[in-house]
Chains A and B, each alone.
Chain A
Amino acid sequence: GDSVTQTEGLVTLTEGLPVMLNCTYQSTYSPFLFWYVQHLNEAPKLLLKSFTDNKRPEHQGFHATLHKSSSSFHLQKSSAQLSDSALYYCALSDSGGSNYKLTFGKGTLLTVTP
């Protein structure tokens, strides 16, 4: 079955340093990958979604590249901001099977300090 692995449960960074949150996946078919972000006391919301044409999605300074060879979709940002502190989920939708279901990773809590 489908699975998503986020190896870091907690990442603490100093403001201004680069961000990289890891995401690897297993899927039977060619999946769509997503990053969702949840700020404290808010609902999760979509941050990025992979494209079918291998373009690199970007939003709010964050970007992620789908590497099918390594089954990865790591989230990156060149310079962390205090407002980036949040819970980040990587998720997968299987395009070949039931693509109504999203499988989520366990999440990475990013804390950015001054």
Chain B
Amino acid sequence: GGIITQTPKFLIGQEGQKLTLKCQQNFNHDTMYWYRQDSGKGLRLIYYSITENDLQKGDLSEGYDASREKKSSFSLTVTSAQKNEMAVFLCASSIRENTLYFGAGTRLSVL
């Protein structure tokens, strides 16, 4: 079996700050995803990547950048943190059949 590791687990930032979240997977999956989880709003797709160096925007990409320099890693950058923002960011990977394997999440709080 494999595992998805997200770092950090908790991230506290300041308003306007650029913040980077990292994700590593050892499944050898081609496709990786970043979802944002907000209570009552479900999981919303921010970015996904079909293969190394590929980036595809999801429904919630504004305010975020992503990078996929290696097959095993996928990072997400919040370009300017919003005051009082609180959310959980979930990284996932999959093979083409679309069973997603999720990481435990990064919990973001902005002061």
Contact = CB atoms under 8 A, between A and B. Distances in A.
Interface of A: 6, 9, 32, 34, 36, 42-46, 49, 89, 91, 93, 99-107
Interface string B10-49: 0000000000000000000001010100001111110010
27 contacts: A9-B40, A32-B98, A34-B98, A34-B99, A36-B100, A42-B104, A43-B103, A44-B43, A44-B100, A44-B102, A45-B102, A46-B99, A46-B100, A49-B99, A91-B43, A93-B98, A99-B96, A100-B31, A100-B98, A101-B45, A101-B58, A102-B33, A104-B44, A105-B42, A106-B40, A107-B40, A107-B43
A104 B43 contact: yes
Q: A36, A43, A49, A107 — which one has the most chain B CB atoms within 10 A of its CB?
A: A43
Chain B interface, >50% SS class:
strand
Interface residues of B, number: 25
A106 B42 contact: yes
Interface of B: 4, 31, 33, 35, 40-45, 48, 50, 56, 58, 90, 94, 96, 98-105
B43 A43 contact: no
